[in-house]
Structures are given as C-alpha cells and as structure tokens.
Amino acid sequence: NVRVSGWPVALGSGAATELAVGDGRLAVVDGNGVLHCWEQASGYRLWGASLGSAPSGPPTFDRRLVHIGTADGRLLVFDAVDGKSVGILKSPAAITSRILANRGTLWFAGGDGMLRAVDFDAGRVLWTAPIGRVATDGQIALAGNSVIAIGEKRLVAFDRATGEPRGELALEHELRRLDAQQRRVFVEVRRPKERDRAAHDALVAVDANDLSILWEFTLDAVGPGRLGSDELVVALPSASGDVILFR
C-alpha cells in the first residue's frame, strides 16, 4: 500500500453518516451536523457546511452537486467545488432516507410514508406515491426504470418517471436494507430464531423489472454489518469475520 499525503483526516465528533464518494471527492456528515467535503486524491478539506438539523442519510453526488436531506424536511444542495448553496427545497414531511439523484431528478422517502420525486431545477414535485410504511435510509434504491422501496414485508416498485406502481414482491420476516446493481436489487432479510436454528440473515437477489427472485444466499447467523455493492460485486459480511462476495 502507498500512503497518500493528507490522509487520514480526523473528525472530532465522529461520523453521523456513511461516507459518500463522487467526482473525485469524499463527503460525510459529522456528529455535530456539519457536512464536510475533501479532495479524494490529497485529503485536502475543500469546504464544510452546517446543516442545522440531523441528516436523513449520507450525502449523494450528481452533476457536480452534493445533495442531502434533513430530519426537519429540508432538501439541501451544494456546489461540490466550493460548498456554496445551490438551493433548498422544503418537504411537507421529514425526510427519512438519503436523496437519490440522477440528472436533476431527486427521489426520497418521507416520515408520512410517502415516496417523492422532485425536479430540482424546476423546483417542483413530479409525483408522490405511498410506500405503506416509513422507509429509512438504505430502504429505497434506483434500479433500471424503477424506484424500489421496502414496504410492509414486501418490496414495492414505482416507475421512476411517473410514480405509477410497477409491481410488488411479498417477502417474509424483517426486510432490513436493499441495494441495487444495474437491473438487480439485493435485499438483506433477517429471519428470527427457530426451534432448531438461531436468528440469521439472508441475501435475496431480485430482478428489478418484474420483481422475481433470482437467487438467495443464507448465512448461519446474524451478520455484523450491512450489505454493500458496486457495479460488479455485492458484499455481505458474516459473523465469522469473512466478507462474502457475489458477482
């Protein structure tokens, strides 16, 4: 390994969100509600901005902009270069998930159990659809032409452009988190203790187009962390200390 000058950097109050990466930059919100942005190559701190409320999830990058939601219902957008405020939108309910962003269209979950799509440039709501429960961060994702959300013991899919329902898939037990990779959705399911088996986690792969189950992998116990994915690989930590990778 080659040590990069400038890293690591210290967060005096710890991190309140996951780390976000985009456009050669890293961003995170600390325990005091300050959004920090660094240059990835050097660790140089580019800027910081106080949110004035708890973040709804980690920041997201899109078109050289940084987006983040707050628990008091604000959707904040900053210039990724210098941290200047580009705009603020106000949701009628608390924002409970990270902001999903693609070419100026933003999607997020609310404390009223609704999923919203917003055209940020026009400053208007494109559509609103009921999820059936309050989805939290890590429980909505973009996959193909759909926005997929964790409903009440089921996955629900909505058309990204119109918000029209595209289907649903009932799944037993606790649906904890999902992630997306191209046209597949990966769902982390926690199954309770049974007479002859301890509580354990499972990873379920679902086709984003028709919400059919593609495959499933079951752990022997409850995993110590969350699933993660990139464009090629899905990773699931196990209680044994191994990280299991799937293509």
Per-residue HEC secondary structure of the chain comes to CCCCCCCCCCCCCCECCCCEEECCEEEEEECCCEEEEEECCCCCEEEEEECCCCECCCCEEECCEEEEEECCCEEEEEECCCCCEEEEEECCCCECCCCEEECCEEEEEECCCEEEEEECCCCEEEEEEECCCCCCCCCEEEECCEEEEECCCEEEEEECCCCCEEEEEECCCEEEEEEEECCEEEEEEEECCECCECCEEEEEEEECCCCCEEEEEECCCCCCCCCEECCCCEEEECCCCCEEEEC
- pLDDT of residue 83 exceeding 70: yes
pLDDT in tens, 120-153: 999 999 999 999 999 999 999 999 999 999 999 9
pLDDT in tens, 147-163: 999 999 999 999 999 99
Average pLDDT over the chain, rounded to whole? 93
Residue with the two structure tokens 């998930």: 97
pLDDT in tens, 160-179: 999 999 999 999 899 999 99
- pLDDT of residue 223 exceeding 70: yes
pLDDT for 229 equals: 82
Confidence band, pLDDT 50/70/90 cuts, at residue 40: very high
pLDDT in tens, 176-222: 999 998 889 999 999 999 888 899 999 999 999 999 999 999 988 99
| Distance (Å, whole) CA 228 – CA 244 | 11
Confidence band, pLDDT 50/70/90 cuts, at residue 2: low
pLDDT for 7 equals: 87
pLDDT for 28 equals: 98
The two tokens of residue 133 are: 């429960």
pLDDT for 241 equals: 86
As to burial, measured by CB atoms within 10 angstroms (0-12 exposed, 13-18 middle, 19+ buried), residue 85 is exposed
